[in-house]
Amino acid sequence: MQTVELLPDVTTERTVRDVWRRLSDAGLPSQAAHRHPTNRPHLTLATADTLVPEVRVRLHDVLAALPVPLHLDGTVRFAGRTPVLAWAVRPDEALMRLHEAVWRILCDAPAGGRLNPLHAPERWKPHITLARGRDAARPGTPLFSGAPGGPDDVLTGDWVKARTYDSADRSTTPLGQWS
């Protein structure tokens, strides 16, 4: 499986990593415990079995729209085999257009194989994962530090780069103008 992911600006990445550290310091599951060098805050736009060269070329053109605004707004939990605690991404028009364009490129490339239907525009729940596991966060666990003049769990920034993650060899490759 290969992903198409957006990466946040340096300040946002530092803030998300701080939340990871707070969870870990509280003895709770946290993405901070995932020590693989590819682990970093990101937003998954889509996944496919493979990204063939023609798709990468088309993605390069679409990802030229970066940077686009980033809005993190509160936490969300996903139930399932492994529960997930995440920082919700509030998608604006620019992010929605980018996501739909990436999805359309992958849908138009049958050589890429299966797509994860959870990333289809009508089902996509954009988020940055904070923790995975049954005890991902207990009520009252201080996750966020206060931002002057605003709610603690709201953050704005930019999505500045894109990459792909290959689950077969656990590697990342820049996409777009960074490739």
Question: Structural domain boundaries of the chain?
Answer: 2-174
Exposed / middle / buried, residue 10 (Cβ in 10 Å: 0-12, 13-18, 19+): exposed
Dmax over CA atoms of the chain, in Å, equals 49
**Which CATH number among 3.40.50.740, 3.90.1140.10, 2.60.40.290, 3.30.460.80 corresponds to the domain 2-174?**
3.90.1140.10
Question: How do residues 72-98 score in pLDDT, each as one tens digit?
Answer: 998 888 888 888 889 999 999 999 999
If you average pLDDT over residues 133-155, what whole number do you get?
64
Instruction: Report, as an integer, the average pLDDT of 129-136.
Output: 83
Residue 142: its pLDDT value, please?
Answer: 61
- pLDDT of 60 above 90: yes
> For the chain, how many helices (H) and strands (E)?
3, 7
DSSP label of 145: P
Is residue 132 classed as helix, strand or coil in its secondary structure?
strand
Grouping H, G, I as helix, E, B as strand and the rest as coil, residue 46 is: strand
pTM comes to 0.91
**Which of 31, 5, 35, 36 lies closest to 16, judged by CA?**
31
